[in-house]
Amino acid sequence: MRRRPLLGLSAVVVAALVLASSVSSLAFSLSLSPAFAQVSSSSAPGTYGTARPAECVGLDGLRTTNVWERAKEPQLRRYCDLLASGTAKLVGDGPLAKDVLTIADEADRLLAGRAAPSVLRGRALLRLGKPQAALEAFQEAVKRDDRALDDPVALLAWARANARTKHFDEAAQAYRAALPRTSTLPAQERAAASFEAGMIVMAQGPNAIDAAVAMLKQARRDSQDALQVASVVGLALALDRAGQRDEAKAVLAERVRDGAKALLKDARVLGALSDAGVPEESDALAGMALEGVDAAGAREAWKKYLDGPGGKGPWASHASGHEGVGAPSKKGTR
């Protein structure tokens, strides 16, 4: 009679061991599943961005490591190390982009035909001020893999390359696709992306103004310092262009002061406008910001806008209505 509890306990132990073995087997099977690998890659940000190249998933000790696939390609470790090194060199403002081109070429030779080296090359070329060559590199990446630009970092680079080469429709579409995916990026990069998106979408004309307002509101929430002032002024400009002038004045009154002109000339603001392909909008921003504090400066900024590319764009009539603000006018402009 005393042996039955012992037998019951043994049965429990055996059952637990069987269950553990089953769970372990299931985990191993899942680790070899491409679908599981894809989920793991998108939820584990690293030096590649928010999604590592599929061929590199698992090389840093993740459960997705597939030893059989790695055994087939002995150069894979070196290839992935090169991509990580090249990506790291593109972080910050260091002048290392030229080195990245060499790294991308070496990775391409190791495993020819993969998309990731072309993406890396495109990002480096964009940093070097060669947007047309960058655009071609990104196009080559997409030829190799139609999901090559799914990562938000790559998608933003693609948007900027299109914007800088005056492919505005493609750029606006890329920005629209990128913004919902930027939650994993640093706040500074999210803010720049929202500001750039709002400015280029607004430049498409009245039909896109509501979307631009939403994007610039997001930029205002995420940004700091000079870029926040630019986002606030950009939002006011968008509201004013949408005919919501009282709201535009309220937005400006809440944040913009006498120092706005200098902040709008900040290198980061000018760089964001250039990335968005609309550097001429800096004059419209200045005109908008100065109307309440420097009428002469505002008139000068609006005139400069009209004398440049803005005078031939969809917002020329809007700028003409502001050019004489604060000064007597035969036309009776405000």
Range in 11-20, 157-166, 303-312 with the lowest mean pLDDT = 11-20
**Using an 8 Å Cβ cutoff, are 193 and 182 in contact?**
yes
Check residues 26 and 291 and name the one with the higher pLDDT. Answer: 291
Helix (H) or strand (E) holding 72: helix 67-72
Q: Read off the pLDDT of residues 93-150 as tens digits, 9 standing for 90 and up.
A: 656 888 999 999 999 999 999 999 999 999 999 999 999 999 999 999 999 999 999 9
The residue-averaged pLDDT of 39-65 equals 50
Q: Read off the pLDDT of residues 207-265 as tens digits, 9 standing for 90 and up.
A: 999 999 999 999 999 999 999 999 999 999 999 999 999 999 999 988 777 678 888 99
pLDDT of residue 315: 97
Percentage of the residues of the chain whose pLDDT score is greater than 70 = 75
- Structure-token match 């005139």, residue found: 303
Angle, CA 149 vertex, CA 143 and CA 152 arms, to 5°: 175
**How large is the angle between the packed helices 131-144 and 116-127, nearest 10 degrees?**
170
pLDDT of residue 255: 79
Please report, to the nearest 10 degrees, the dihedral formed by the alpha carbons of residues 221, 226, 227, 232 taken in order: 60
pLDDT of residue 325: 63
Give residue 143's identity as a one-letter amino acid code. K
Q: Read off the pLDDT of residues 270-279 as tens digits, 9 standing for 90 and up.
A: 999 999 999 9
Q: Read off the pLDDT of residues 186-221 as tens digits, 9 standing for 90 and up.
A: 888 999 999 999 999 999 999 999 999 999 999 999
68 confidence band (pLDDT: 50, 70, 90)? low
pLDDT of residue 72: 57
Q: What is the pTM of this model?
A: 0.77
Bridge partners, 49 (sequence order)? 46
Q: Read off the pLDDT of residues 90-105 as tens digits, 9 standing for 90 and up.
A: 886 656 888 999 999 9
**Using an 8 Å Cβ cutoff, are 255 and 289 in contact?**
no
Across the chain, what does the average pLDDT equal?
Answer: 81
Which among 321, 261, 266 is positioned nearest to 293, based on CA atoms? 261
- Structure-token match 């998933």, residue found: 57
